[in-house]
């Protein structure tokens, strides 16, 4: 049987309960029988889903929202110290628990797989959750995005496996103690929290150091940062006499699990890998080599827990995607609109290459929104160079999220670099106008890609409406 409620989580109050990570933990606690409450800046479908599970969700932040009998207040790193509900909790002596500690407590007594990496965490976690569920293993999971199939980002399952997305952005993944850890890639990002690649490597080493004795690290063999991490981890394990199994995967000649072939088939891929038991071929129902590699990481991790690899490979084909990860939004006038969460240059390049492969003779048109001023300052030029892979792009203003503006940092950092790389790019501050521009450019056979981690996702529907209103040829 799965564990019950962690200590002090009988009546938790979540500040920012509508967020991807926070809502997942809240859902699992509600499904385990907790009296969940919380608040968020605005109402949403996520809030409604939580209410359907019996949670109380307030709109707006107010000290009065914190119930007198709250057993704990759960916060993420995005919650500011001056939040009135957080201040009230401290005044009243209510325990304040970070999101990562709450998630770690939910994994106690189970067999956790923690999925880490600069990119691909949500997709890989989702692939594992869907495939294991398809096999009848009834996993619990906590994911940073809603699955297409079940339409949720978290669930309390009756099985012994817990699959969790492990976030490195604020070092919160140091709290987990997985039986299997996946590291997909290691790159510099989250510049507000990490000053160098050395800090990133140290952080990932700490995460791997939390793997349970006798556990497994599944790590990419094709990415430079991941290879460096593998070398460090192996040297440290040998020095400390640590019982850790390291399994590498990828197309590199020295990979323990070799990716032999990735054959694009429109918006799917056929993948062949060599494992200890021989070659296994399976279908990945999303396009792009990077998603194929995510599926192989999921396959290797499941096998490390004793799940039959051939059965898991077949079940991986049941994964049809997660919201915002090359998610088809519709088609109008022969133009297909796809939504991408990519906001780091590596992710942007991978998704653009995937759509380029699916577009055939059609063009790839992008509506891009840079995410965070700090990221744009450090990586904006690389973002612009990535946009040179598109046939044409329109770039919106920087989406600030939790950050205050940085003087001199605007989306011009991106557009200037894109033009220098030969891209056809323009800037537009007004979102409806930007959507209309893309719709006006598009012709039958083209793909329009809304790209970024902010509210650009809302513009796919606007593009489709503009296309539908356009007179037929």
Catalytic residues: 121-122, 165
Beta bridge pairs of residue 57: 38
CB contact at 8 A, 217 and 208 = yes
Assigned token pair, 16 = 């920012």
Could you tell me which of 462, 296, 250, 448 has the C-alpha nearest to residue 366?
Answer: 448
Beta bridge pairs of residue 3: none
H/E segment holding residue 439: helix 431-441
Cα–Cα dist 208/204, whole Å = 6
Cα–Cα dist 219/181, whole Å = 8
CB contact at 8 A, 83 and 105 = no
Give strand ranges (E) for 16-62: 37-40, 56-59
Residues comprising the binding site for ATP? 117-123
Count of beta carbons in the 10 Å neighbourhood of residue 43: 14
CB-neighbour burial class of residue 72 (10 A; exposed 0-12, middle 13-18, buried 19+): buried
**Long-range contacts of 307-311, Cβ-Cβ distance < 8 Å, separation of 24 or more:** 307/132, 307/135, 307/137, 309/275, 309/277, 309/280, 310/277, 310/280, 311/135
CB contact at 8 A, 184 and 121 = yes
Cα–Cα dist 424/437, whole Å = 13
Cα–Cα dist 178/164, whole Å = 9
Buried/exposed code over 305-317 (b: 16+ C-beta within 10 A; e: otherwise): bebebeebbbbbb
Could you tell me which of 209, 203, 180, 187 has the C-alpha nearest to residue 297?
Answer: 180
Dihedral sign, Cα of residue 129, residue 135, residue 140, residue 146:
positive
The vertex-223 CA angle with 262 and 241, nearest 5°, equals 115
Which residues fall within 8 angstroms of residue 389, CB to CB, at 6 or more apart? 349, 352, 353, 356, 364
Residues comprising the binding site? 117-123
């Amino acid at each position: 049987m799965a564990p019950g409620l962690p200590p002090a989580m009988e009546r938790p109050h979540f500040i920012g309960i509508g967020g991807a990570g926070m809502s997942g933990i809240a859902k699992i606690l509600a499904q385990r029988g907790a009296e969940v409450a919380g608040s968020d800046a605005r109402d949403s479908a996520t809030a409604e889903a939580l209410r359907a599970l019996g949670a109380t969700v307030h709109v707006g932040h107010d000290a009065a929202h914190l119930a007198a009998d709250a057993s704990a207040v759960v916060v993420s790193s995005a919650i500011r110290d001056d939040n009135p509900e957080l201040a009230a909790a401290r005044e009243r002596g209510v325990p304040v628990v970070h999101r990562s500690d709450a998630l770690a407590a939910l994994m106690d007594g189970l067999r956790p797989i923690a999925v880490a990496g600069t990119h691909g965490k949500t997709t890989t976690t989702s692939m594992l959750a869907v495939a294991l569920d398809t096999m009848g293993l009834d996993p619990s999971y906590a994911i940073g995005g809603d699955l297409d199939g079940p339409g949720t980002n978290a669930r309390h399952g009756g099985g012994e496996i817990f699959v969790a997305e492990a976030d490195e952005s604020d070092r919160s993944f140091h709290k987990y103690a997985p039986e299997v850890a996946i590291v997909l890639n290691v790159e510099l990002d989250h510049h507000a929290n990490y000053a160098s690649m050395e800090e990133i490597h140290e952080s990932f080493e700490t995460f791997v150091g939390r793997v349970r004795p006798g556990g497994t690290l599944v790590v990419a063999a094709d990415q430079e940062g991941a290879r460096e991490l593998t070398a460090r981890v192996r040297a440290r394990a040998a020095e400390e006499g640590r019982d850790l199994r390291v399994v590498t995967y990828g197309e590199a000649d020295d990979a323990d699990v070799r990716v032999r072939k990735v054959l694009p088939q429109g918006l799917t891929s056929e993948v062949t890998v060599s494992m200890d038991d021989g070659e296994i071929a399976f279908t990945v129902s999303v396009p792009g080599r990077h998603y194929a590699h995510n599926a192989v990481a999921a396959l290797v991790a499941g096998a490390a827990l004793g799940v039959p690899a051939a059965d898991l490979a077949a079940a991986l084909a049941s994964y049809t995607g997660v919201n915002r990860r090359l998610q088809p939004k519709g088609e109008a006038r022969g133009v297909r609109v796809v939504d991408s969460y990519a906001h780091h240059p590596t992710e942007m390049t991978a998704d653009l290459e995937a759509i380029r492969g699916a577009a055939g003779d059609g063009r790839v048109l992008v509506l891009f929104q840079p995410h965070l001023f700090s990221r744009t300052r450090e990586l904006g030029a690389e973002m612009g160079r990535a946009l040179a892979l598109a046939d044409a792009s329109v770039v919106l203003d920087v989406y600030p999220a939790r950050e205050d503006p940085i003087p001199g940092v605007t989306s011009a950092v991106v557009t200037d670099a894109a033009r220098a790389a030969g891209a056809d790019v323009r800037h537009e501050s007004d979102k409806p106008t930007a959507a209309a521009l893309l719709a006006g450019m598009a012709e039958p056979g083209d793909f329009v890609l809304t790209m970024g981690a902010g509210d650009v996702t809302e513009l796919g529907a606007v593009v489709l409406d503009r296309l539908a209103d356009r007179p037929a040829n």
